[in-house]
Structure 1
């Protein structure tokens, strides 16, 4: 469900809830801050919403619209949060969106929606601030902003410290902390510096596998070697995947997944990672560590998606709108002239073409759900 549909459904509920709140106009700074902090700390698995421009004076909530002079921009809102004394500089992650919704007379009116992201960084609280009780932790109780109970505060700290998670969830969380992983090439171990119990062990290379994936053709040296990467907590393996070395061991990354658009060779498709699973998080960390899957000519055109829903939207877009895309000649793959002799028969041009389309869509913030390309 897209943001507009979500907000419309919340308005139609004619009530406020634990993870969403309505306001007729933008609040004074201290009251706005209290609402954002309370929503950020509430118990809810998902985004939270402060919806501004809604008449909530009776049991029939309706779109009221906003006066431009009283509104804030994303930059102003972020500056507001940055200038308050949050403990440990731990500030809620927010995003400001504007929607055009019809009022009761069918006239389009602008409303603002502050989206507060759900993170594991709770509790958010201020040290000393006029208008706040010092070090008090605010949250939501049903539809009210309230000071959290002892139990609620305890649960927030458990979430931040990973005490409620199983080892797989903790490992995924650590993989997101890209800058704190180190690669010991002598031991073939990538370990998490804050807690070396979490490590990724690279096994011996299997030189008996005589195969190539099409992406090896994007490197000047198309040799292709593979090993097993084992994700371990102490001595227990909780996940494993295939790990590859390309361009004569000049670049390395976990094996991506392949999505195809057609079913007859040569296939039109793309390689991708999902950022909500082990392989995608691992790939993102490796590419941060090694500055992408760079080579001496073209970069292997891998794509990242937040989840399966994003992947499916992009795939549907390619199936329906591909004929509208004109790809510059400079995006032709350098390896297209080579005899592939690969494990899969894929049109190498399609890999770069789909990468170009992907970059164009996300660089221009095109909403695939609204088909507004």
Structure 2
């Protein structure tokens, strides 16, 4: 259902609710702030709406329009929120839309709709604000803005910390929150800052032998070492995977999977991660932290897929792809051992070519199905 249909249905309900509120005109800043925060904290699985330009007459809600009343732009609305002292700089995610709706006489009138996104970042509250109760957590009780109860606040924090899910799902949820992980290299532990019970512990590095894989040929130092990464909740390991150090310990990431698409020598294929499993989410989080798996010249050509279905679509596409495609020429620099270009029967040029095809398809939103 589009936004206009959604708002029209709410108006026709002739009542205000937990996740939506009607106003005749734009409120003053503090009242506007209270309405936004209350809606942001309400218990509802979906977007919330502050609908401005609606008049109530004898229990009926009608489109009134905003006429010449003073309104705010998206930028002004965002500035309003940014200028208040939200706890933890945790600010509601909002979007302002303007709709043209017919009033009771069939005349089109403009109304504004502030959409407050549903997130797991509740509770939203102000630490200090004149005219606003400090540290008070506002929410909606039926159609009224009210102070949240103890139990409502408890539920908000459970949602925020992911305590309503099982620990594996919590971990996956936290791995998506890339910016709130911290790498302590002295302890070889990567912590989730908002909830340090969740951590990734790197084991002892195997220095006994230098290993090689096709991807390591993309680095000047074409050997790598590995260890085990253990995903722990407190002291309990719930998952583990191989973690590797490449290019003379200049870059590091979890070991990717490899997919081959023929059985001839040299093999054609690609390295990949899935974004619905621990390894893929971990790799994505690390690459966000460290800006990819870069070396001094370029990075090895890994691909990210949403899930197995996404992976299979691309695999089938490559198996049937026979069109010649020109890819950017990359010269092996001195020391890159181009005399060992093929290793373990994987064609390094095909890895680069498949990465180029993948990037082209997804950059141009080409449907593979």
Query: Do both share a fold (TM > 0.5)?
Result: yes
**Where does residue 78 of structure 1 map in the other structure?**
78
Q: What is the distance in 1 between the residues matched to 2:59 and 2:326?
A: 56
**Where does residue 354 of structure 1 map in the other structure?**
358
Note the aligned Cα RMSD (angstroms): 5.0
Q: What is the distance in 2 between the residues matched to 1:41 and 1:286?
A: 31
Q: Is this contact kept in 1: 2:180–2:192, CA < 8 A?
A: no
* Paired residue secondary structure (2:152): helix
**Where does residue 9 of structure 2 map in the other structure?**
13
* Paired residue secondary structure (2:91): coil
**Where does residue 150 of structure 1 map in the other structure?**
150
Gaps in structure 2 of 5+ consecutive residues: 333-337
Aligned residue pair count: 341
**Where does residue 116 of structure 1 map in the other structure?**
117
Gaps in structure 1 of 5+ consecutive residues: 362-367
Q: Is this contact kept in 1: 2:85–2:127, CA < 8 A?
A: yes
1:73-222 alignment, distance < 5 Å:
73-87=73-87, 89-94=89-94, 96-98=95-97, 112-125=113-126, 127-130=128-131, 132-160=132-160, 164=164, 166-168=166-168, 171-172=171-172, 175=175, 176=177, 178=179, 181-184=182-185, 188-191=188-191, 197-203=197-203, 205=206, 212=213, 215-222=215-222
For the pair shown, the structure with the greater C-alpha radius of gyration is 2
Q: What is the distance in 2 between the residues matched to 1:41 and 1:75?
A: 22
* Paired residue secondary structure (2:128): coil
Change (3 A) 1:107 1:121: closer
Q: What is the distance in 1 between the residues matched to 2:25 and 2:310?
A: 37
**Where does residue 36 of structure 2 map in the other structure?**
36
Aligned-residue offset at 1:236? 1.4
State the TM-score, normalized to the length of structure 2.
0.66
Aligned-residue offset at 1:348? 1.9
Q: Is this contact kept in 1: 2:181–2:190, CA < 8 A?
A: no
* Paired residue secondary structure (1:13): helix
Change (3 A) 1:100 1:333: farther
Q: Is this contact kept in 2: 1:39–1:116, CA < 8 A?
A: no
Q: What is the distance in 2 between the residues matched to 1:247 and 1:225?
A: 10
Between 100-109 and 81-90, the greater mean CA deviation after superposition:
100-109
